A = this chain, B = another copy of it.
Amino acid sequence: MSNEEKLTPAFLEYLEECLLQDRMGEVAQVVEDMHPADIAEVIDRLDVTLARKLLDAMPNALSADVIVELDDEVRYDLFEEYSATEIAEKVIGELDSDDAADLISELPEDRIQEVLGKITDDTQAQEIAELLTHEEDTAGSLMAKELVKVNQNWKLMRCVREMRRQAEDIEHVHTVYVVDDENVLLGTLSLKKLLTTSTRTAVSEVFEPSVVSVRTDTDAEEVARIMRKYDLVVIPVVNEDNQLMGRITIDDVVDVITEEAGRDYQMASGLTQDVEATDDVVMLTKARLPWVLIGMIGGVLSSRVIDFFDITQFPEMALFIPLIAATGGNVGVQSAALVVQSLASEGGFKDSLMSKLVKDFGVGLLTGVICATVIFLVSFALGSGYNLAITVSIALLSVIVFAALFGTFIPLMLHKVNVDPAVAVGPFITTTNDIIGLFIYFGVGRVIMM
């Protein structure tokens, strides 16, 4: 079982007291059997002086693992307290190259060089510097250099010997890669084969030659899609000459998947920055205000549309303004969300833009006819009068068909011009559909009611 049951306000208070009273032996004992991720949750809630004190009471290997798991902002504040040498020795020196590069890349530009200069292990410094050259959100920026590889010409006995040596520096051995003399990736050697075959066999006779790999410049989301599709726990990364450069493990990709899903979700719900409920009031307001204001601009424009068509002439048309606006918004968001989801999972086969639009026209028409019929009967039953009932029905049908097409078209266009289509879902589509829906409504009204 995990140690999450320890994470209570009472425990936090107790730990703070220990730290304040310098009962460090007690502190060390308390955190000894806790998982780094749990200790990080505690530190996220301590002030920076106590946090530092707690980290200093741990072995470097543990405190480094804890620091990796901290909230970005907490880590930022903490590193302000550390000297470049301390970061290099106490933290970076204890980490795998991918985590090390991630932490260093978060530092201010001038500190990056300083910390790199303080790393005593030249190979590590070089590896990290290389990882830092890869563009963000590519396979190169996600990968780690630590891996176990064997030459196709070796016998299995030598493999085991070499693997022992390589494994010294590596926490988990996921896969053994097979390369040729030029470090070109040829395939993998399964641990099962290694366990069940005679040690005098050559690697080339027993390795698995087909292996799914990605290139250093492959987009992170594409890496996630491939690993998901092929059920991979680890994937090798190669350069343009198919030379083995590193490997990406699924835990990093799970982070990519959840971040991406979270971003889409936040955009669909009108949040403009990556915020969490635990952020403070000002940060939350900052993330929320832009979309609220854009929605308000839409509202003001809507008021101009209503004014333009002179509502005072047909005040009863006001009754169905919310219905028209809400329905257009709902349908548009549905279409846009479906496009975003299908673009994210699209791998091999792709449907054409035209076939997508034709299908959404069908869905819009079917939905529109049903809704228009319903609203005709309801508004008539509510005593709205024949003219208003027919106006609302025709407008609703038009709005729904338009919203379905518009909601499909906009994210597809954004995707074409390499903008994240997810920005189209949520307030953007809703607001636009509000305005256009009212135009249609009052346009139809002017023709029928006059």
A interface residues (Cβ-Cβ under 8 A, vs B): 1-2, 4, 6-9, 12, 33, 35, 37-38, 41, 45, 160, 163-164, 167-168, 170-174, 190-192, 195-196, 210, 212-213, 226-233, 249-251, 253-255, 257-258, 261-262, 264-266, 268-271, 275-278, 281-282, 284-285, 288-289, 291-293, 295-296, 298-300, 302-304, 306-307, 311-312, 315-316, 318-327, 329-331, 333-334, 336-342, 345, 347-349, 351, 356, 359, 362-363, 366-367, 370-371, 374-375, 378-379, 382, 400, 425-427, 430-431, 434, 438
Known: A12-B349, A45-B349, A172-B190. 16 other contacts (CB 8 A): A35-B230, A38-B348, A163-B195, A164-B196, A174-B233, A227-B254, A266-B341, A269-B337, A270-B334, A270-B337, A288-B334, A299-B320, A299-B323, A300-B323, A300-B375, A330-B427
A278 to B210, CA, bound (A): 30
A370 smallest CB distance to B (angstroms): 7
Which of B257, B289, B326, B340 is the one whose CB lies under 8 Å from A298?
B326
Name 30 A/B residue pairs within 8 A (Cβ), A-sorted: A7-B348, A164-B196, A167-B191, A170-B192, A227-B254, A231-B251, A233-B250, A250-B251, A265-B268, A268-B269, A269-B333, A270-B330, A271-B338, A282-B366, A284-B363, A285-B366, A289-B367, A292-B327, A293-B374, A295-B326, A299-B320, A302-B323, A303-B319, A303-B379, A311-B315, A311-B319, A312-B315, A315-B318, A322-B322, A322-B434
